[in-house]
Amino acid sequence: MSASPAKPDAIELYLTHLNAALLKVPRNEREDFLREIRVHIFEKLEQPGAQIPGVLQALGSPEELARQFLSECSLTKSAKSWSPWVLLRTSIRWALTGFQGFVMFMVAVVGYSFAAGFYLTAVLKPIYPSNVGFFVNSQGLVLANWPPPSGHELLGPYFIPVALIVGFLFIAGTSYILRLMMQSFAVARRKLA
């Protein structure tokens, strides 16, 4: 980190306020942003006649800067996406930022895992027809087992399209819930900021 040896208090105070207002932003993203602002301040101060108060004032207040960053940042963007990849990546980044982030992450993992599971059974059905299916027995519902599960297989040849449709519904449903959560999260954070 480049900082002059004697760090003037006003600059550190500015950056501390900015950091505090951005605590909910994932650490990498926040540190990169703070580093950029810090370099901006010190580089401006190298210009002839530059004074700390003027440089900080020109930058805008830390609260205003944080508010702008939050309203521009990833959550708002991802909340408009339907791509499971974008939604999953965003929820991973937010997993450790608080309870709401963790719940979002769990919804993403569980929902997309179910979807992946159904797609996998659709692929395996033609290869292992007696092991994979929609079996109903004393344990309840079994989708796949080695050795082959006991009980009746209900769907037969219809298993593959049904599994693909259910897999798709899990993807769409999970994406829909994640988008709603991210939108409400983004609105709450904008109000907070």
Partner 1 sequence: MAKPLIVEPQNGDRWEAQLRKGCLELAILASLARGRLYGLEILRVLDTETKLTLAEGTVYPILSRLKQEGLVASEWVEAEAGHPRKYYWLTPKGTVRARSMAHAWMDFAGNLTQAVGPLLNGKRKD
Given 10, 50, 165, 188, the residue binding partner 1 (CB under 8 A): 50
* Contact string 4-43 vs partner 1 (x = CB under 8 A): -------------------------x--xx-xxx-xx-xx
Question: Segment near partner 1 (CB under 8 A), from 62-70, 93-101, 105-113, 145-153?
Answer: 62-70
Closer residue to partner 1 (CB): 67 or 125: 67
Q: Are 142 and 149 in contact (CB under 8 A)?
A: yes
- Rank residues 40 and 152 by Cβ distance to partner 1 and give the closer one: 40
For residue 175, is it left (φ>0), alpha (ψ between -120 and 50) or beta? alpha
CA nearest 81: which of 169, 168, 174, 166?
Answer: 174
Tokens of 95: 């997993």
Choosing from 8, 60, 98, 161, the residue that interacts with partner 1 (CB under 8 A) is: 60
Give the 3-state secondary structure of residue 55: helix
Q: Is 1 exposed, middle or buried (0-12, 13-18, 19+ CB in 10 A)?
A: exposed
CA-angle at 89, arms to 87 and 92, nearest 5°: 110
Choose among 6, 117, 97, 92: nearest CA to 52: 6
Of 69-128, which residues contact partner 1 (CB under 8 A)?
A: 69, 71-74, 77
Nearest distance in Å: CB 50, partner 1: 4
Q: Which stretch binds partner 1 (CB under 8 A): 58-66, 138-146, 154-162, 173-181?
A: 58-66
Residues 4 and 42 sit within 8 Å (Cβ to Cβ): yes
CB of 32 to partner 1, least distance (A): 8
Applying CB under 8 A, the site for partner 1 has a residue count of 31
**Closer residue to partner 1 in complex, CB, 44/120:** 44
43: tokens are 């580089």
Greatest alpha-carbon pair distance for the chain in Å reads: 85
**Smaller CB separation from partner 1, 48 or 140:** 48
Contact residues toward partner 1 (CB under 8 A) are 2, 29, 32-33, 35-37, 39-40, 42-44, 47, 49-51, 54-55, 57-60, 64-65, 68-69, 71-74, 77
